[in-house]
Structure 1
Amino acid sequence: MIIANPIYDTVFKRMMENERVAKFFIGTLLDEQITKVEVKPQEYTYKGEFEENDPKANEIIAERIQKRYNIWVYRLDFIATIKTATGEYKKVLIEIQKAKNQIDLMRFRRYLGEQYKKEDKVNHENNALPITTIYILGFNLPEIQTACIKVERNYKDLVNSKIIDKKSDFVEKLTHDSFIVQVNRITNRYQTKLDQLLSVFEQNNFLDDNKITKQFQHPTVSEDVKIMTDILHYTGINPEDRKRIEIEQEAWRTVNAMFEDKERELLQRIKDKEKILEEKDKVLEKKDKILEEKDKVLEEKDKVLEEKDKVLEEKDKVLEEKDKVLEEKDKLIKKLLSQINKKKQ
């Protein structure tokens, strides 16, 4: 089956607009039963609008970028209702974002700050919702080799050095768990429910160099995967959707061309700063070694002085003993002289 590549915002949006797909996507990653999702789309577009049929659309995009207009970015927020193992229901704010390169990670930090301000009616009361973030990365994290990871928190009692197994509603709303998907590390594996979800994002078997459409080679073993691939198939063959994808692709090509040098410069500056910090760490390490050696020398000196004090103390004792011996000797001599004088008389 031919499907559109969901790494593109246009395609991903189309796919996630289906409630069942959204529940399958979120529930599979979180490993939770999702009973309801409410879509909260957040779109940031170039200032001003233009007709999609406009043959000069790409030129307009490039011109607006040159004029420092906002870059089109798509983000999805969901209010997900989760049914827990105990049968209780809880609501969580799910934020899904995609990044094509490391520079995009900077905007994640800005967006996260906005999410803490969001509120939703829960049991007819205004409550801040706990946040779970899902990052779909179009580049590889060199330290992490797997395609999908969960970054979760735990509560540690620092006084008694043990993990606390209870949860605080206050703490849950201040911090959040994260899920990271690296699409370039997705393999041909197709065994678990998670494998089936990730297979849709697999960056292989493309039909052309544009990487807009690809051949989905796995069997649709579940209804959820079938619905997802059907949506992606329709999006891939629909001329209007294809045009939107091409516009998005061209926009990012323009952006990458404009900011490639700036990105390289920024990454180089980061490397330079890391090198400076590394050099400073080496200097501090040498300083610590010098101080450590100095401490050892001082310690040895203290030991020598201590030994010297002991020797002097022993010497004083010897001299004291010597004085006693001499005193006894003098007494003995006086006694002998006295006896000799008495005999002479």
Structure 2
Amino acid sequence: MTLIANPIYDSVFKYMMEDERVAKILLSALLKKEIVELQMRRQEYTAMQQTRISMFRMDFSARIREADGEEHLVMIELQKTWLATETLRFRQYLGTQYLNRENMREEDNGMYGLPIISIYILGHKLGDIEEPVVYVRRRYLDYDDRVIDKKDRFIESLTHDSIIIQIPYLRGRTRNHLERLLNVFDQEYIYYADDHLLQIDERNFTGHDERLLIDRLLKAGVAPDVRKAMEVEDEILSEIEKRDTIIMQKDEEIEWKDKKIAQKDEEIAQKEREMAQRDEEIAQKEKEMAQKDKEKEQIISGAVRLLRQSGLSAEEISVKLSLPLETVQKIYNRD
């Protein structure tokens, strides 16, 4: 068994990819094309800082050779994160690459951008997609979805292919050359005494390309500056975890308070509905009482008229009906 540096760490991955031979091997395997020339672009690496979430970036310009022997320049944009919240940062960085004039080439009939190939190395899973390596490729189509074989610099300047690697799904996958290379990311190999190291069986990495990659990671494992950088990453990630925990707790507290407020609002709304119902009942009773008063008045008026017609005076009617004389007189005189 052999101990190698864990390339899940940004500092280790950077050290590994700074070796041009190893970078060519890994990128050629990912692109499934031969890389004739490879050059790392300046400002290729964004170090981790305590004030921001970690996102590793490396950019390369490469001359690749197609299966038919044609060669052309492309730009390879490699981004890596272990957090599931980096989509916006990926988009922002991709936008800066499209705007960067260093990625443009002057042709006979104008300026054109280098074709961009985006590679995303993710430490998390993508929804329901379980393949460890996902290729997103463009095709030129006509209206009837027939493939157009030709390519155009204008289209190549404005669109790009992507490769997504899901580290969690690499476990135990060695079906092809690429998966055997990416197997060094398998976190099942973590050394029990030190997360900075992976404990691998070298017999599983016997190919020439695999040996070059393993040798580079062996050197990274004993390089003092790389070891120190991994410790710094641990400290920063620990701070990020603490910050995220606090944020999560605050979010839970806010959610709990929102639920309480919503519950109170519902109780108030229920009381308002009950009060409105009571008001409606009172209004209905008042209406019924008004109707009864009207009916009673009609009965009294009828009785007063009948007694008047029979020759009784207002005073006699008042006594006979047990009504106030004033009430009887009003009806008596009205009729």
Do both proteins adopt the same fold according to a TM-score greater than 0.5, normalized to the shorter chain? yes
- CA offset at residue 177 of structure 1? 0.6
Aligned to 2:153: 169
Please give the alpha-carbon distance, in whole angstroms, between the structure 1 residues aligned to 2:24 and 2:189: 27
Q: 2:166 aligns with which of 182, 204, 209?
A: 182
For each residue in 1:33-87, what CA deviation from the matched residue of structure 2 results, as whole angstroms up to 9, or x when unmatched?
A: 10111001433347xxxxxxxxxxxxxx6xxx4xxx4556431000011012222
2:215 aligned with 1:230: yes
- RMSD between superposed Cα atoms in Å: 2.7
- CA offset at residue 247 of structure 1? 0.5
Aligned to 1:42: 44
- CA offset at residue 201 of structure 1? 1.1
Residues matched between the structures, number: 247
Could you say if the C-alpha distance between residues 194 and 43 of structure 1 is closer, same or farther in structure 2, counting changes exceeding 3 Å?
A: closer
Could you say if the C-alpha distance between residues 73 and 141 of structure 1 is closer, same or farther in structure 2, counting changes exceeding 3 Å?
A: closer
AA at the equivalent of 2:137: E
Alignment of 1:305-316 (within 5 A): none
Could you say if the C-alpha distance between residues 124 and 21 of structure 1 is closer, same or farther in structure 2, counting changes exceeding 3 Å?
A: farther
Please give the alpha-carbon distance, in whole angstroms, between the structure 2 residues aligned to 1:218 and 1:263: 42
Greater radius of gyration (CA): 2
For each residue in 1:146-180, what CA deviation from the matched residue of structure 2 results, as whole angstroms up to 9, or x when unmatched?
A: 1111011122223x343323222211111111101
Is the contact between residue 112 and residue 157 of structure 2 (CA under 8 Å) also seen in structure 1? Answer: no
Aligned to 2:287: none
2:235 aligned with 1:250: yes
Q: Look up the SS of the partner of 2:45 in the other structure.
A: strand
Q: Look up the SS of the partner of 2:77 in the other structure.
A: strand
Aligned to 2:99: 117
Could you say if the C-alpha distance between residues 232 and 251 of structure 1 is closer, same or farther in structure 2, counting changes exceeding 3 Å?
A: same
Is the contact between residue 117 and residue 128 of structure 1 (CA under 8 Å) also seen in structure 2? Answer: no
Unaligned runs of 5+ in 1: 47-60, 270-345
Q: 2:61 aligns with which of 33, 57, 79?
A: 79
Aligned to 1:215: 199
Unaligned runs of 5+ in 2: 256-335
Q: Which moved more, 1:199-208 or 1:112-121?
A: 112-121
2:150 aligned with 1:148: no
Is the contact between residue 44 and residue 70 of structure 1 (CA under 8 Å) also seen in structure 2? Answer: no
Is the contact between residue 99 and residue 105 of structure 1 (CA under 8 Å) also seen in structure 2? Answer: no
Q: Normalising by structure 1, what TM-score?
A: 0.65
Q: Look up the SS of the partner of 1:245 in the other structure.
A: helix
For each residue in 1:73-118, what CA deviation from the matched residue of structure 2 results, as whole angstroms up to 9, or x when unmatched?
A: 4310000110122222111110111111111222101100011123
AA at the equivalent of 1:97: Q
Q: Normalising by structure 2, what TM-score?
A: 0.67
Aligned to 2:244: 259
Could you say if the C-alpha distance between residues 121 and 36 of structure 1 is closer, same or farther in structure 2, counting changes exceeding 3 Å?
A: farther
Q: Look up the SS of the partner of 1:24 in the other structure.
A: helix
Percentage of pairs with the same residue: 36
Aligned to 2:177: 193
- CA offset at residue 232 of structure 1? 0.7
Please give the alpha-carbon distance, in whole angstroms, between the structure 1 residues aligned to 2:190 and 2:121: 19
